[in-house]
Amino acid sequence: MSVLRILHLVGSAYNDFYCDLSRLYAQDCLAATAERSHYDFQIAYITPDRQWRFPPSLSREDIADTKPMTLFDAIEFITAQNIDLVLPQMFCIPGMTHYRALFDLLKIPYVGNTPDIMAIAAHKGRAKAIVEAAGVKVPRGELLRQGDVPTITPPAIVKPASSDNSLGVVLVKDVTDYNVALKQAFEYASEVIVEEFIELGREVRCGIIVKDGDLVGLPLEEYQVNSNDKPIRNFADKLKQTDDGNLDCAAKDNIKAWIVDPNDPITEKVQQVAKKCHQALGCRHYSLFDFRIDPKGEPWFLEAGLYCSFAPKSVISCMAKAAGISVNELLMTAINETLGSNQKVLQNC
């Protein structure tokens, strides 16, 4: 059996928050897959100063003890390692775009979507426009820059056009609240989306994976929201800081989020819409989409999150587990899709 040399691309060239978030998920992925004898893992860790390190693990001690390198030196190191595949674990915009593009230039394949698709999906307004053109329902909205005045009548959602984890997202119930909401959203991006608030309903996430070229819809994940006191999710619903200063997931407790019964009629309906989004955006290997379900049971596209860390706590991994697909099987499927039918070294593992 061939041994795959896989480079985990971890960290952030943008800020410490994304650096820690990336390290959190990549650590879990490494721990969950470390015993697979057909993987030879290496780690590339990028910090906001854009220095590269190649530590033996993602412990803070090993990272601190590893000598930093410039991009030039890092490229020389990587090209000497005979890397078969890159597993991107970076969640910042540069990590999802520039750093993936680097491996296109180096002609080293990587799991996941290409930089151009990642850039489109990271901009909520552009992603909405593309899926709407494909016939998917999206909330009516407008893209604002500093000084623009919203015309959407509240209730409305104000959110940065390119920020994740509900940072800067505000529900505006009265026009007098717009100024404060816009100021908060502009702290996270130079463009802000204001869109109609879709009444609940429900809020769900749908993952799609590609297996042997076919799109497979995974069980939905539903989030704890309600019309009375929890109309939208916020940052605290997604991430929390532990006592030791590390980031951790807040939505993996079956209270704030849970897997929807596959027999629920909404499942197939959302999966079909998610597949349409996947195809409209030109995704490959996997995709992930958030939907608001209105009181009539109609799904409305909110945004795309085209990443998966292959950690047990990663959303697509949780959905796959509910479908009887282990993290290792999920990773092997993605690797096989990445390498192509002529190089399916893992299909019998």
Q: Where in the chain are the domains?
A: 4-111, 140-196, 200-306
pLDDT for residue 345: 47
What is the rounded average pLDDT of the residues 151-176?
Answer: 90
The Cα 327–Cα 319 span in angstroms is 10
Domain at 4-111: CATH code: 3.40.50.20
The Cα 214–Cα 333 span in angstroms is 12
Q: Which residue has the tokens 């996941």?
A: 112
pLDDT for residue 165: 61
Residue 147, C-beta contacts closer than 8 angstroms, at least 6 positions apart: none
Residue 320, C-beta contacts closer than 8 angstroms, at least 6 positions apart: 207, 209, 218, 326, 327, 329, 330
140-196: which CATH topology? Answer: Dna Ligase; domain 1 (3.30.1490)
Domain covering 200-306 assigned CATH 3.60.20.10 in the classification: no
- Residue 89 tokens, joined: 């674990």
- Residue 9 tokens, joined: 């691309």
Tens of pLDDT, residue by residue over 127-159, are 999 999 999 999 999 999 999 999 999 999 999
Tens of pLDDT, residue by residue over 81-135, are 999 999 999 999 999 999 999 999 999 999 999 999 999 999 999 999 999 999 9
Q: Specify the amino acid at residue 172.
A: V
pTM: 0.89
Instruction: Tell how many helices (H) and how many strands (E) occur in the chain.
Output: 11, 16
SS3 180: helix
Closest CA to 200 of 296, 103, 275: 296
The Cα 119–Cα 121 span in angstroms is 6
Tens of pLDDT, residue by residue over 261-305, are 999 999 999 999 999 999 999 999 999 999 999 999 999 999 999
